[in-house]
Amino acid sequence: MADVIKITKKNARKGEDGCKVVSVRMKDELLERLDELSGKTNRSRNELINILLNAAIDIVKIEE
């Protein structure tokens, strides 16, 4: 029988795909629009939110 059992340290978990989970509050009307788009495109809310945020972050302009 072995005297010692060695276990390697695992990297911090961020999710199986390297993504983090976030929680977002949004108005009912926006959620309804998102659900409508989800139905029309056959994509999940999560997928649509990521697509839309990726597009929006590239075109945002910060005003002083």
How confident is the model over 1-29, as pLDDT tens digits?
568 767 677 666 666 777 888 999 999 99
d(CA 47, CA 6): 40
d(CA 14, CA 18): 5
State residue 18's pLDDT score.
78
State residue 20's pLDDT score.
87
Lookup result for tokens 């999940």: 44
Whether the predicted pLDDT of 52 surpasses 70: yes
User: 0.75 cut: is pTM over it?
Assistant: no
Mean pLDDT of 30-57: 93
Whether the predicted pLDDT of 64 surpasses 70: yes
